[in-house]
A and B are shown apart, each in its own frame.
Chain A
Amino acid sequence: MVQHLGLRDVKGNIMKISSNIENLHQVRGYIRQFGESLAPLLPDEKLDMLELAANEVAANIIRHGYDHDKPGEFEIIIVQDTTGISIKFLDQGYPFNRENATLFNPEIDEVIDKTGGFGLFIIEKIMDKVTYDQDGLGNNRTQLFLKI
């Protein structure tokens, strides 16, 4: 359900989801439903990529932020304004350190040799801005921004 936040030209929505990998399709459905409500502002091709990027972030949170010993929930907050779409992921799993992450680099890596690192590469390639930090409440915060 789209909630109007009281600001002209701003739409937002929030979803809370448990850290079960079987829930990934719900994340995609949530992003798609929101994106489709923005038509024709968001072309299908851009919505496909937004859905993919959100899927990758959620998969990382579920697989690496949480595990069987530390299950939990995370929130996805999506907001659209006149400049673009922001998606914020808040979780309380193991923190992610971007500096220690090894991304696929198509300039130097041969894709056939790689067994990982595609997810972060895809997220950062698709989105116009990606940040990873912690908010003042102790949540890990991953923020994606896509211009529209």
Chain B
Amino acid sequence: MKIEKINENDVLIIKIASKMLDVPKVSEFKEAVLPLVKNQKKIIFDLKELFFVDSSGCGAILSCIRQVNADDGEIKICNTNKRVRTLFELIRMHKIVDIYNTRQEAVDSF
């Protein structure tokens, strides 16, 4: 899975450069992303290229949020398409993570 890591001031932006985050991709996602977010305080997941997420993908993102929260950090999400946003709202993820329309809005929110 292609992951792009960008540092913008003190914010770590992780761009998931993959179209799918489903069962076959979840292990790869966790292996790539969990080490990146360890001990980070300000993180943005940019999901602009992510076309489809399923329940296991949500679980993988939640794993990252749990780890970052445990390190007193925070993950914010931006650039979700409509279907991904609908899924996040369905399982109430928007209650525990801030979701922004653009990366800039997410960066500015820290």
A55 to chain B, nearest CB (A): 5
Say whether chain B's binding surface is mostly helix, strand, loop, or mixed: helix
Nearest residue (CB) in B for A55 is B54
Count class of interface residues, chain B = 20 to 34
User: Given A59-B56, A112-B66, are A49 and B92 also a contact pair (CB < 8 Å)?
Assistant: no
**Within 8 Å CB of A125, what residues of B?**
90
A interface residues, how many (CB within 8 angstroms): 28
- In the complex, whether B34 has a CB less than 8 A from a CB of chain A is no
For A112, give the chain B residue with the smallest CB separation: B96
- If over half of A's interface residues share one DSSP class (helix, strand or loop), that class is named, otherwise mixed; here it is helix
* Assembled-state Cα–Cα distance A116/B91 (Å): 11
Query: Which of B62, B83, B87 contacts A112, CB < 8 Å?
Result: B62
From the candidates A56, A112, A121, name the one contacting B65 in the complex (CB within 8 A): A112
Q: Which residues of B1-47 have CB atoms within 8 Å of chain A's CB atoms?
A: 20, 22-24
Contact A48 B91 (CB under 8 A): no
11 pairs from A and B in contact (CB 8 Å cutoff): A21-B23, A25-B20, A45-B86, A49-B83, A49-B86, A110-B96, A115-B62, A119-B55, A122-B91, A125-B90, A126-B90
